[in-house]
Chain A
């Protein structure tokens, strides 16, 4: 038997084979029968009879063979893949450092980007589960001269509701609080009073029941309330709660619905109820300019924010003519702000800084991976060339290179995902206090796919493409090159050097950025608060309007708190002030000094308010620089007295003595003292005049912040406050007590947070750049081994050689430094919101960066330099 060929190899040949095989059988049988003496016709018939249904058999055979063919083809493909995979894995395990470096670099790039983009998406792109969120606009009253923006009044909102041509639906929200019995404990809950079509604007679909109608705000309607999912659960999670009566504060409400768990607007709201349009709110002269609501409208499709802004400016003009007495001051107009922007708040500049940062880290990672891949490929050019020479097709080599990259990318992707998960957990744990929005950040699959895709694509483009070109172009060259061991493509060297400069430059940008935020933070910590925050505890409480309607009732309560707390050993003094630093604003308004004409160049006489009672200045450690603080006598009898701060004196009095002068600022009174200026809520804000009113003579607000100076721990103060409140009014919810230092720290927490993250990323970038410099320098040394050997053989001093290598590293580092510094000054905008008290070209931050980078690059080229010095000339010659 002589073998012809193996089959079936293709599907088309199957049928032919089957026919041949069966024809052979039948013909053989016929020949046999003829030989036995049958006539050819008889033999043919007999053979067919013995065979059976030939067509059916042929069909069956074809079916079996086609299936066999398919299975074999699949098997072969799989085997080929397994072979390639084995090659690729072997290639990688032979260079574990290379593989590890690429995986780590990719992981950092992917992980950092996924983390930050997840934050970005939650915070800036979709902070609320609301359809077409970008069409929701906030309208605010703007007083450019006072540099102040407020919400609109309810009356203004009602006018805005009429503008159906601008807003499809619109609503306002106002913060309200209500004390509920949860279990047996009275708990003060944060709620929202709404006006207009809240459900329509936010497209809310309650989980239970329904949201109340807009006209529930009309006077005379029975009170209704919608609960948050959280509050509903704390109340016992009764699924039949809709229609039941719930007591909040002094009022009974019918529950109409429960919101789904993922709806939280405004953030943290526990209940929503209609704002009742009573006669006070509807009084044009009294209320048009005073009551503050946050207006949110859903922009009609096809309109733009700019168009609406223009319409609103025109509307404001009309109001000024219609109600002249309400809009005399401050050059009023209206502005629109996208709700998304408002929700992002303080996070926005940080997220933008972070986005820029991780974008740079990603670029750095890509450059790193690309040069590593390139070095790796040229290092193995010989291996690939040999394979090619041995007949491995261009496709096979390409497949191997791509498979290697894919393996690395997959490992990097997995590690990056784990990193991102860790990063997000860390973020959410760390900073909820500063940024409630971060609570909702989740790892986003789409984001992950995007960054992983981008990174891998970059790796393929920058890494594999040159690799493939090497494999293709230089089969001959590579063999020659690697034998000669020198003069590897000048283009490749240029690319590698460029890549190092690029990486160093990015590291410089990030280092300078981080340095500046650290400097800013230090500057911030040096800011004089104007008060002594240490050992002060504060808590804010609200006295219900019904039981504390009259001033004396409120004063009596404060006196009770004062006496009880002061009686506790360790407590030194107790004071009260609505509008105390870092405890919420008491508002601001214009002031008037009838006897003092405006100084030349003096701007609007506008000051913040504080309402003070008890031993406030002593407790806070605010020095009285002139005159005196309020005394018990001031609180108890006589006319209204006020204390002003130094900033007001400087602005309006100049060198004159303000003591004894009359001032109108809301209530009119006499100035009895001047206090040192304090920071109220933001360390970066410039000083603004402040007027301390005598709450004893003017107990106008139901809210109050208490301050307690003591040697006690916060928990101890908290316990004392709880006892005090239970004794004084068991129906009142005990407030939360905070250390004042903590509140101050909270005010710059977002900066601290950003600084920390930027520092981490800068360190990361420095590490990557260090790796890049090291890898490239040692690669260059390796590829110049022969040259170095010759130099040494010719008598070059080894010091000379070391200097040569180090100089090479220094040149790259210097180029990176210069380009990086330039790039930073051009892009410093991304950081501006986080800077305080330092310029972009801060010598300290720049100097530190230069020092750090210089020492790191020297270190990175030191090791290769040492290797170069130890080159044995004989050995390098012999490798020829």
Chain B
């Protein structure tokens, strides 16, 4: 497995939520969007996407509806719920705080005595 996958697991939910802020999508579309947005730098094992989606559906962050794609094929579309949107906002804030602190810490120099 690539090294970046572990980091990814913790943030996959956040990526999915971010993706779905653009509107309802099916799994494949989410996968494509993440791939495009990250310029193919994230090697997501696509299968990992689905358990995350279903778990978020169970938690009530997403709802799913069966629908037809433009090519008239049956697909499951995920949509953010109000709770999911709230979740996205708070996870994003937490992530920003975390990256700021991490950057601060990793760029610190010398030892304080």
Query: CB distance B47 to A51 under 8 Å?
Result: yes
Q: Is the CB of A51 within 8 A of B55?
A: no
B-chain residues with CB within 8 Å of residue A71 when the two chains form the complex? 58
Contact A24 B58 (CB under 8 A): no
Q: Which of A61-69, A416-424, A819-827 contacts B (4 or more CB under 8 A)?
A: A61-69
Query: What are the residues of chain A within 8 A of B50 when measuring CB–CB?
Result: 21-22, 25, 57, 60-61
Complex contact B55–A64 (CB within 8 A): yes
Q: Which residues of A contact B18 (CB under 8 A)?
A: none
Contact check: which of B28, B66, B76 meets A28 at CB < 8 Å?
B28
How far is it, in angstroms, between the C-alpha of A7 and the C-alpha of B74 when the chains are bound? 13
Interface presence of B39 (CB below 8 A): no
Q: Which residues of B contact A487 (CB under 8 A)?
A: none
Cβ proximity bits B50-89 to A, threshold 8 Å, 1 near / 0 not:
1100110110000011111100011111000000000000
Q: Which residues of A contact B24 (CB under 8 A)?
A: 1
What is the bound-complex CA distance between A57 and B50, given in angstroms?
7
Return the CB mask of A798-830 against B: 1 if under 8 Å, else 0: 000000000000000000000000000000000
* Bound form: Cα–Cα A20–B27 in Å: 12
Known: A4-B66, A20-B74. A52 touches B47 (CB 8 A): yes
A21-B45 contact given A6-B65, A71-B58, CB 8 Å threshold: no
CA distance A64 to B55 in the complex (A): 7
A60 touches B28 (CB 8 A): no
Tell me how far the C-beta of A291 lies from the nearest C-beta in chain B, rounded to whole angstroms: 86
Q: Which chain A residue has the least Cβ–Cβ distance from B54? A: A64
Structural contact, B76 and A24, CB atoms closer than 8 A: yes
B66 touches A5 (CB 8 A): yes
**From residue 1 to 51 of chain A, which have CB atoms closer than 8 A to chain B?**
1-7, 17, 20-22, 24-25, 27-29, 50-51
In the bound complex, what is the Cα–Cα distance between A52 and B62 (angstroms)? 24
CB–CB A52/B51 < 8 A = no
Determine the chain A residues whose CB is within 8 A of the CB of B68 once the complex forms: 1-2, 4
Residue of A nearest to B55 (CB): A64
Please determine whether A25 and B28 come into contact, CB atoms closer than 8 angstroms: yes
Confirm or deny: A54 has a beta carbon within 8 angstroms of a beta carbon on chain B.
Answer: yes
Q: Which residue of B lies closest to A4 (CB)?
A: B66
Q: If the complex has contacts A21-B27, A25-B27, A64-B58, are A4 and B74 also in contact, measured as CB distance less than 8 A?
A: yes
Distance in Å from the Cβ of A564 to the closest Cβ of chain B? 93
Pairwise interchain contact B51-A60, C-beta atoms closer than 8 A: yes
A-B contact count (CB 8 A): 80
A residues in contact with B66, CB < 8 Å: 3-7, 17
Docked CA distance A336–B36 (Å):
102
The answer, yes or no, to whether A306 is at the interface (CB within 8 Å) is no
B48: CB under 8 A from chain A? Answer: yes
Assess whether A165 is interfacial by the CB under 8 Å rule.
no
Q: Report yes or no: B73 in contact with A24, Cβ–Cβ below 8 A.
A: yes
| A57: contacting residue among B47, B75, B76, CB under 8 A | B47
Could you tell me if B46 and A50 are in contact, using CB atoms closer than 8 angstroms? yes
Q: Which residues from B are CB-within-8-Å of A56?
A: 47
Whether B46 and A61, one on each chain, are in contact in the complex, defined by CB atoms closer than 8 angstroms, is: no
CB-defined interface of A91-116 with B at 8 Å, one 1/0 digit per residue? 00000000000000000000000000
User: Within the assembled complex, what's the spacing in Å between the Cα atoms of A52 and B44?
Assistant: 10
Complex alpha-carbon distance, A57 and B24, angstroms: 22
A53 at the A/B interface (Cβ < 8 Å)?
Answer: yes
Q: Known contacts being A17-B76, A24-B28, A51-B46, is A4 close to B51, with CB within 8 Å?
A: no
Given A28-B28, A64-B58, the answer on whether A2 and B67 have CB atoms closer than 8 Å is yes
Check B54 against A65 for contact (C-beta < 8 Å). yes
Cα separation A186 to B55 with both chains bound (whole Å):
82
The winner among A3, A28, A61, A71 for most chain B CB atoms within 10 A is: A28
Size of chain B's interface in residues, with CB distance under 8 A? 26
Cβ of A1 and Cβ of B28 under 8 Å apart? no
| Contacting residues, chain B, for A21 (C-beta < 8 A) | 26-27, 50, 75-76
Chain A neighbourhood of B76, CB < 8 A: 17, 20-21, 24
A164 to B46, CA, bound (A): 89
Find chain A residues with CB under 8 A from B75 CB: 21, 24
With a cutoff of 8 Å between Cβ atoms, the chain A residues found around residue B77 in the complex are 1
The chain B residue sitting closest to A57, CB to CB, is: B47
Give the docked Cα–Cα distance between A51 and B57 (Å).
Answer: 21
Smallest CB-CB separation from A60: which chain B residue? B51
Q: Cα distance A6–B76 when bound, in Å?
A: 10
Shortest A109–chain B CB gap in Å is: 47
Interface residues of B in 7-60 (CB under 8 A from A): 24, 26-28, 31, 45-48, 50-51, 54-55, 57-58
Is there contact, CB below 8 Å, between B45 and A67? no
| Closest-CB distance, A24 to chain B (whole angstroms) | 5
Bitwise interface map of A from 823 to 855 toward B, beta carbon under 8 Å scored 1, else 0: 000000000000000000000000000000000
Let me know if A24 and B26 touch, CB within 8 A: yes
Given A17-B76, A24-B73: A3 touches B55 (CB 8 Å cut-off): no
- Residue numbers in A under 8 Å from B55 (CB-CB): 64
Give A46 Cβ to nearest chain B Cβ, in Å.
11
Report chain B residues within 8 Å CB of A64: 51, 54-55, 58
- Partner pick for A3 among B45, B48, B57, B65, CB 8 A cutoff: B65
A53 CA / B74 CA spacing, docked (Å): 23
Chain B residues positioned under 8 Å from A28 (CB to CB): 28, 73
How close is A604's CB to chain B, nearest CB, in angstroms?
Answer: 94
Give, as a whole number of angstroms, the nearest-CB distance from B59 to chain A.
9
Residues of B within 8 A of A6 (CB): 65-66
Q: Complex: how many Å from CA A54 to CA B75?
A: 17
> In the bound complex, do residue A52 and residue B48 qualify as a contact, i.e. CB atoms below 8 Å apart?
yes
Residue numbers in A under 8 Å from B46 (CB-CB): 25, 29, 50-52
How far, in whole Å, are A1 and B68 apart by their CA atoms in the complex?
Answer: 6
Query: Closest approach, in angstroms, between the C-beta of B44 and any C-beta of chain A?
Result: 9
B51 and chain A: residue at smallest CB distance: A60
Expressed in whole angstroms, the Cα–Cα distance for A194 and B55 within the complex equals 78
Name the residue of chain A whose CB is nearest to the CB of B29. A28
By a CB distance below 8 angstroms, the chain B residues around A5 are: 66
**Cα of A24 to Cα of B49 in the assembled complex, Å:** 14
- B69: which A residues are within 8 A, CB to CB? 1
**Distance (Å) between the CB of B49 and the closest chain A CB?**
9
How far, in angstroms, from A5 to B58 measured CA to CA in the complex? 18
Contact of B57 with A68 in the complex, beta carbons under 8 Å: yes
Q: Which residues of A contact B27 (CB under 8 A)?
A: 21, 24-25
Whole-angstrom distance between the Cβ of A695 and the nearest chain B Cβ: 97
Identify the interface centre among B28, B50, B64, B69: most chain A CB within 10 Å of its CB.
Answer: B50
What is the CA–CA distance of A3 and B64 in the complex, to the nearest angstrom? 10
Complex interface: chain B residues within 8 A of A27 (CB): 73
Task: Flag if A57 contacts B26 (CB, 8 Å).
Answer: no
Instruction: Select the residue from B45, B58, B66 with max chain A CB neighbours within 10 A.
Output: B66
A7, closest chain B residue (CB) = B66
The chain A residue sitting closest to B77, CB to CB, is A1
Q: How far is the CA of A28 from the CA of B50 in the complex (A)?
A: 15
Tell me the complex Cα distance, A80–B31, Å: 39
For residue A67, which residue of chain B has the nearest CB? B58
Q: Which of A17, A51, A60 contacts B45 (CB 8 A)?
A: A51
- Bound-state CA distance A4–B66 (Å) is 6
Contacting B at CB under 8 A, from A288-309, are none
**Residues in B neighbouring A2, C-beta threshold 8 A:** 67-68
User: Smallest CB–CB gap between B15 and chain A, Å?
Assistant: 17
A1-B77, A21-B76 given; A61·B67 CB < 8 A: no
Q: Is the CB of B57 within 8 A of A54?
A: no
Contacts of B64 in A (CB 8 A): 7
Across the two chains, which residue of chain B brings its CB closest to A64? Answer: B54
The answer to whether A54 touches B47 (Cβ under 8 A) is yes
Which residues from A are CB-within-8-Å of B65? 1, 3-4, 6
A selection of 30 A-B contacts at a CB cut-off of 8 Å is A1-B77, A2-B68, A3-B66, A4-B66, A4-B67, A4-B74, A6-B65, A7-B66, A21-B26, A21-B50, A21-B76, A24-B73, A24-B75, A25-B26, A25-B27, A25-B28, A25-B46, A28-B73, A29-B28, A29-B46, A51-B45, A52-B46, A52-B48, A56-B47, A57-B47, A57-B50, A57-B51, A60-B50, A64-B54, A65-B54
Chain B: residues with CB nearer than 8 A to chain A? 24, 26-28, 31, 45-48, 50-51, 54-55, 57-58, 64-69, 73-77
- The list of the 3 closest CB pairs from A to B, nearest first, reads A52-B47, A1-B67, A57-B47
